[in-house]
Amino acid sequence: MDFQQVFGKPSETKASAPGRVNLLGEHTDYNDGFVLPTAIPQCTTVQLGFSSDSQHHFYSENLNEQVSISDINRNPSGFASYIFGCIEVLQKAGYTIPSLCVYVQSSVPIGSGLSSSAALEVATLRAVRQLLKLPIDDIEIAQFAQQAEIHYAGVQCGIMDQMASSLADTEHILFLDTRTLERRVMPLPEKAEILVIDSGVPRTLASSGYNQRRAECEEAARSLGVKALRDITGTEVTEKLPEPLRRRARHVVTEDNRVLEVLQGVSSERFGELMNASHASLRDDYEVSVPALDTLVELLQKTPGVFGARLTGAGFGGASVALVAAGEARSIATHVLEQYKQAGYIGQILVPSLELSDAA
């Protein structure tokens, strides 16, 4: 079905936003740290029109699900919570938002750690900005999107995903200081391309250990007398913390330092080494990996043509990202997915994007 079939009239406007893959800087954004995401080709598109009654009406093409928001249904769940959150944060910022019809279509994989939620939020806010000619810029869109996710979807997320969806492209890496929002657009490492493979194990942020990890980091920062773990530059300071706070803080400090090293300029080989170290830290110190991801990452790391690999996103399932020799991503993926299948798992290549029938 299309917008006309669902809502009985054509849409007024539409906007899109991409998912993202994070190359380095995992679980650092809510610690005021540094991140290195890039956009992926898959995106979410939101079509908008004015509602003919006093209610908002949201439809997801992927889920074939429609939700109406009335005075007695002000706490929607699922995909509707992200859209409703975007509308609510705009209204709380002083903008008058009329009742809307919203049609969502997305190619961003859900539950793979590629920020399908941020893509939905940013696309929604872009579409509302166009429809109502709101005077908000791309950074404000990311900030509104973050507030929607925190207050209406219940995920205590940092700003990285929304900034990447709002500002990044597929040809460059976006360096972002999540405290100051200082950013720099950097080229991909020389003679390299990005390979993203879904582990086949979905994850859900709100019900995972994500919020717990954030609370542990905040407790560690309080214990060390700093505003955020970003303010710690050496791991020796973290040794005084009790477990598991010591390991949580150590991951954040070393991960920030890995991102800052890339900022100074590194070879593709060194970038890959940093990705490998990041995965080990996420697995051992931050404890957000799972056996399937560890298997997938290990297979990638052993494969010729792979500079480095790690889990990407919050963990607890989802996808892996690898930096590989330019032009070899598809052949590497075919080889690794066959080995992964022999290990008892079913994965799928996500970037470079393939037709589903070509995936393992």
Per-residue pLDDT tens for 27-66? 999 999 999 999 999 999 999 999 999 999 999 999 999 9
Dmax over Cα atoms in the chain, in whole Å?
63
Task: Choose the final residue of a domain: 172, 187, 202.
Answer: 187
Judge if 84 and 108 occupy the same domain: yes
pLDDT over threshold 90, residue 70: no
Residues 182 and 205 in one domain: no
Residue 126 in this model has a pLDDT that exceeds 80: yes
SS3 of residue 264 by DSSP: coil
Which of 151, 140, 191 lies closest to 329 in space, CA to CA?
A: 191
pLDDT digits (tens, 9 = 90+) for 272-304: 999 999 999 999 999 999 999 999 999 999 999
Q: How many CB atoms lie within 10 A of CB 335?
A: 17
Domain span including residue 30: 3-187
Question: H or E segment at 50?
Answer: strand 34-50
Count of structural domains, the chain: 2
What pLDDT was estimated at residue 112? 78
Q: Is the pLDDT of residue 360 over 50?
A: no
Contact 101, 57 (CB under 8 A): yes
Q: What is the CATH number of the domain that holds 113?
A: 3.30.230.10
Percentage of residues in the chain having pLDDT higher than 90: 87
pLDDT for res 21: 95
Contacts of 97 (CB under 8 A, 6+ apart): 87, 90, 91, 128, 132
Is 161 annotated in the active site? yes
Same-domain pairing of 111 and 158 = yes
Instruction: Enter the DSSP assignment of 180.
Output: T
3-state SS, residue 37: strand
280: CB partners within 8 A, 6+ apart: none
Which two tokens mark 250?
Answer: 């150590």
Mean pLDDT of 206-217: 83
| 51 and 180, same domain (yes or no) | yes
- Give the N- to C-terminal CA distance of the chain in Å, as an integer: 29
- The pLDDT of 62-76, averaged and rounded, is 86
Q: Which of 43-47, 206-210, 212-216, 242-246 has the lowest mean pLDDT?
A: 206-210
User: Residue 209, class by beta-carbon neighbours within 10 Å (0-12 exposed, 13-18 middle, 19+ buried)?
Assistant: middle
* One domain, residues 131 and 211: no
pLDDT at 356: 36
Q: Which residues does 68 contact at the CB level (< 8 Å), separation at least 6?
A: 55, 56, 57, 58
Predicted confidence (pLDDT) at residue 270 exceeds the cutoff of 60: yes
* Beta pairing partners, 311: 320
Say yes or no to pLDDT of 359 above 50.
no
Percent of the chain beyond pLDDT 70?
Answer: 96
pLDDT of residue 73: 67
- Residue 351's SS3 state is strand
Q: DSSP secondary-structure letter at 356?
A: G
User: Which residue would you say has higher pLDDT here, 348 or 353?
Assistant: 348
pLDDT at 148 over 90: yes
Whether residues 154 and 58 fall in one domain: yes
What is the band of 113 on the pLDDT scale with cuts at 50, 70, 90? confident
| Whole-angstrom distance, CA of residue 334 vs CA of residue 102 | 38
The last residue of one of the domains, among 187, 215, 233, is 187
182 and 203 in a single domain? The answer is no
pLDDT exceeds cutoff 60 at 319: yes
pLDDT bin (cut points 50, 70, 90) of residue 207 is: low
What's at 97, amino acid-wise? I
For the beta carbon of residue 265, count every other beta carbon within 10 angstroms.
9
pLDDT at 115: 87
What is the model's pLDDT at position 353? Answer: 83
pLDDT band at 204 (very low <50, low <70, confident <90, very high): low
Supply the pLDDT for residue 158: 84
Same domain assignment for residues 295 and 348: yes
**Options 29, 32, 161, 256, the catalytic residue:** 161
Q: Please tell me whether residues 27 and 169 are part of one structural domain.
A: yes
CATH of the domain at 196: 3.30.70.890
DSSP for residue 93 = T
Domain boundary, last residue among 152, 187, 222: 187
331/183 same-domain check: no
Element of type H or E holding 118: helix 116-132
One-letter amino acid for residue 24 of the chain: L
What whole-number distance in Å separates Cα of residue 47 and Cα of residue 123? 9
Instruction: Identify whether residues 60 and 103 lie together within a single domain.
Output: yes
Residues 17/44, Cβ–Cβ less than 8 Å: yes
In this predicted model, what pLDDT tens digit does every residue of 127-144 receive, in sequence order?
999 999 999 999 999 999
Q: What is the pLDDT of residue 244?
A: 97
Q: What is the pLDDT of residue 75?
A: 82
Whether residues 166 and 219 share a domain: the answer is no
Q: Does a cis peptide bond (omega within 30 degrees of 0) precede residue 135? A: no
Q: What is the mean pLDDT of the chain?
A: 94
Q: Which of 24-33, 245-254, 345-354 has the lowest mean pLDDT?
A: 345-354
pLDDT at 358: 40
3-state secondary structure of 56: strand
pLDDT at position 324 is: 98
Residue positions counted in the chain: 360
